Chain A
Amino acid sequence: MTSIILVIFIATILTVLTRPRGLNEGIAALIGAGLMVLVGAVSISSALHVLASNWNVFLFFLGMLTVMGLAEQAGIFAWLAIAAARLARGSQRLLLLNVFLLGILISTFLTNDATALVLTPIVYSVVRRLDLDPLPYLFTCTFIADTASLTLPVSNPINLIIGDHFALTTMDFLRYLLMPTVAAIVVNVAVFFLLFRRRLRERFDLTTLQTEAPAAHPQFFRYTALVLILLAVAFVGAGSAGVPAGIIAMAGAALLVGGARGWRALDTRRFLHDFSWGIFPFVAGLFVVVRGIESVGLTSPIAHALHGAGGNVLLTALLSTGVSALGTNLINNVPMSLVLLSAIGPTHGAVGHALVYGSILGCDLGPNLTTTGSLSTMLWLLLLRQRGVQVSSFDYVRYGVLVTPIMLLVTSGLLGVIA
C-alpha cells in the first residue's frame, strides 16, 4: 500500500513537471488526488476537510489573480516601468536600481508572481526600446521577484500556504523575516551590480520613450492606483489585526471589477479567457496528494532531516532552509511546501520558529538556485548542450548558482540569531 501511494505521488509530481503532451498541471494533480482517494490513502471526507480548511488560500488566489489582471489592463505596471526609466536620467546603474526597487514594491504587496510574470515582459520591452542589453534587467526582475517575497504573508503564495497552516500573522512575518529579507535584497543587489557592471557602463537616450501613449482609460488608471495603495495598507494593517488575506484580496478585486465595469474598461470575455483557472485544481489536487503520503508516514524522512540539528536553533535554521531549497529545486516549491507542512509537525519555541521560517526562506529563495526553477529542466538543458543542440546564448545557471547560496546562507544565519 505504501509503495502504491509513493508511486502515485512520484507519478503526479513527474507529470506536473514534465507536462506530457501538454497535459495541464491542474488535471495532473486532480488525477493524482483521485487516485489517492481511490486506493484509500485519503478518505473523501478527509480530502474535503483539507480543502475547506485552506479556503483563505483559494480566496487569496482568486482575489490576487483578478487584481493583477486588472492592474495590468489599467496600465499600472507599464507606467511604473517607464517612470523607472525616466527617473534614471540616462544612467543604466540608476535604471537597474529602479528596477530592483520596483520589483521590491510589487513583490511585497502584489506577490512575487506579479513581478515575475507581469512586470518582467514590460521591463524587457522598455529596455529593448532603449537599445539596452536586456539580460541584466531580465534577471533582476525574475530574481528580485523571489528575493523580496519574504516580507509579508501575501508576498508569495507559499508564505500564505505555510503561514495559514501555522497561524502566522503579518507581525510574525515582519518580526522573523524582515531583517533576512533586507539582507537577501542587499546581497542580490550587490552581486548583480558586480556581475553586470560592464554591461551597465553606457548611458541611454530616453527619446524613444517620449512618444509613449497615455493610459487608455485615465480615470480607471487613477482609480486602480488608489485601490492598490489601499490594498497594500490593508494587507499590512488589517493583516496585522488578523483579517484573512483572502478577504482583503477579494475586497480589492471587487473594487477593481466595479471600477472596470463602471468605466467600461474591462474586456470581460478576454479576462475570463485569460484567467488561470487551472491553479485551483492544481493546488487542491496537491493538497490531497500530499495528505496521502502523509497518511502512511512517507514524509518522515524529511521530518528526520529537518529535526536533525538536535535542538540547536542556528543549525535548525540552516538545515530547514537547505532542505526546503533543495526540495524546491527537485519537485517545485508548491508540493515541497506542502510536504514540509507535514514534516515539520507541531512546533514550539525557538527551534519551531527556525523550522517554519527556515522552510519559508528555502521555498521562496531556493527556486532561483538553478534559475530555471527545477533541476529537471536544468539537466535537460545541459544534455542538449552536450549533444551539440544550439541552446541560446543566455547563461541560465550561472547567476542563480552565484547569488542564491549566498542569500540562503545569510538569511538562514540571521534567522538562527533572530529565532
Chain B
Amino acid sequence: MMRLVIAIDERPVDVLLERVLELVNVRDAEILLVYVLDPGGPEEWERIAGRHLLRPGPLGRGKEHMRAVDRTEGERVLSRAAAAAAAWGATGVEARLLEGDPKHQIVALSATEGADLLVVFVHGREVGPKSIHKPARFMIDHALCPVLIIKG
C-alpha cells in the first residue's frame, strides 16, 4: 500500500489535486495532505513593529491576529483539499496542519511517516535554474523518498 504525502499551499487546490490524480494511481493508497503555516510573516512584522514608537495596542495582539488568520486560512484550504481527495477512492485520507519552515516540516514529515512518494506543486513560468523554487529544490535534495514535482 503506497503512502502518499501531498504538500498543499494556497493555490487553487482542486485543480492541482486533479493533476495528481492524472499522474498517480491513488487507489489503495494512503493519502496525507499537509499544509504548513509559516510564522515568518507575523514574526517579521513583530520585529519591524518593535522599533516603532506609537503602539496603540500590544504588539502581541497584532501578531496573534495574523497567526490566527493564517491558521483559519490553512484549515480552510486543507479541508477543501481533503474533500476533493475523499472522492479518489483511496484507502484513507488524512489532513495535517503544521507550523514552521515549510520545506523542513514537509521533509521531516515525509521521513517520519515513511512516505513512498512526496508530491510538491511548483508555480511559475521560469525556465532554467529558477524554474523550481528554493523550497522545492530543498525537498528534492533532502527527502528520503522520491519527489514528484507538478508544475501548475
Question: A: which residues have CB within 8 A of B?
Answer: 61, 64-65, 68-69, 72, 111-114, 116-118, 120-121, 124-125, 128-129, 131-135, 138, 142, 145, 157, 198, 274-276, 279, 282-283, 332-334, 367, 371-374, 377, 390-394, 396
Across the interface, which residues of A come within 8 angstroms of B51, CB to CB?
Answer: 332-333, 367, 373-374
| Top 10 A-B pairs, shortest CB-CB distance | A392-B40, A394-B40, A373-B51, A113-B54, A69-B56, A68-B56, A274-B57, A121-B62, A276-B55, A113-B52
Q: A394 to B44, Cβ gap below 8 A?
A: yes
A-contact bits for B29-65, CB 8 A (1 contact / 0 none): 0000000001111111101111111111111011101
B103 touches A72 (CB 8 A): no
> Which residues of A sit under 8 angstroms from B44, Cβ to Cβ?
138, 371-372, 392, 394, 396
What residues on A are CB-neighbors of B55 within 8 Å? 65, 113, 117, 276, 279
Q: Which residues of B contact A377 (CB under 8 A)?
A: 47
In this complex, which of A65, A69, A131, A396 has the most chain B Cβ atoms within 10 angstroms of its Cβ? Answer: A131
Known contacts A124-B66, A134-B41; A390/B100 CB under 8 A: yes
Q: How many residues of B contact A (CB 8 A)?
A: 40
Pick from B10, B41, B101, B135: contact of A131, CB below 8 A. B10
For B47, the chain A residues whose CB sits under 8 A away are 372-373, 377, 396
The smallest beta-carbon distance between B122 and chain A, in angstroms, is 12
Q: Assuming the A-B contacts A117-B55, A276-B54, are A128 and B70 also in contact, with contact meaning beta carbons closer than 8 angstroms in the complex?
A: yes
B69 within 8 A of A: yes
Contact partner, B57, options A69, A112, A367, A391, Cβ 8 Å: A69
- Our pick among B48, B53, B103 for the contact of A371 (Cβ within 8 Å) is B48
Are B52's CB and A112's CB within 8 A?
yes
A138-B101 in contact (CB<8A): no
B107 to chain A, nearest CB (A): 11
Q: What is the CA–CA distance of A133 and B10 in the complex, to the nearest angstrom?
A: 8
A residues near B56, Cβ cutoff 8 Å: 65, 68-69, 72, 114, 117-118, 274-276
CA of A332 to CA of B102 in the docked complex: distance in angstroms?
Answer: 32
CB-defined A-B contacts under 8 Å, sample of 17: A116-B48, A116-B52, A117-B49, A117-B52, A129-B69, A129-B73, A138-B44, A145-B52, A275-B56, A276-B57, A283-B53, A373-B51, A390-B100, A393-B103, A394-B38, A394-B44, A396-B44
Q: How many A-B residue pairs have CB under 8 A?
A: 125
A210 to B147, CA, bound (A): 39
Q: Does B124 contact A (CB under 8 A)?
A: yes
CA separation between A112 and B54, bound complex, in Å?
Answer: 9
Residues of B within 8 A of A391 (CB): 40, 101
Residues from chain B with Cβ under 8 Å of A116 in the complex: 48-49, 52
Contacts of A198 in B (CB 8 A): 124, 126
Q: Evaluate contact between B102 and A393: CB separation under 8 angstroms.
A: yes
**How distant is A248 from chain B, measured CB to nearest CB, in Å?**
15
For the complex, give the distance between the alpha carbons of A393 and B55 in Å: 27
- Shortest CB-to-CB span from A332 to chain B, Å, is 6
Q: Which residues from chain B contact A134 at a C-beta distance below 8 Å? A: 41
In chain B between 75 and 134, which residues have their CB closer than 8 angstroms to a CB of chain A?
Answer: 77, 100-104, 124, 126
Rounded to whole Å, the gap between the CB of B76 and the closest CB of chain A is 9
Q: How far is the CA of A145 from the CA of B50 in the complex (A)?
A: 14
**Contact in complex: B101, A114 (CB < 8 Å):** no
Other 18 A-B pairs with CB < 8 A, given A113-B55, A198-B126, A393-B101? A68-B54, A72-B57, A113-B53, A117-B49, A117-B56, A120-B62, A124-B66, A131-B10, A131-B11, A131-B73, A133-B10, A282-B53, A371-B48, A372-B48, A373-B50, A390-B100, A390-B104, A391-B40
A116 and B52 alpha carbons, distance in the complex (Å): 8
Complex-state Cα separation, A198 to B122, whole angstroms: 13
Q: Which residues on A sit within 8 Å (CB–CB) of B62? A: 117, 120-121
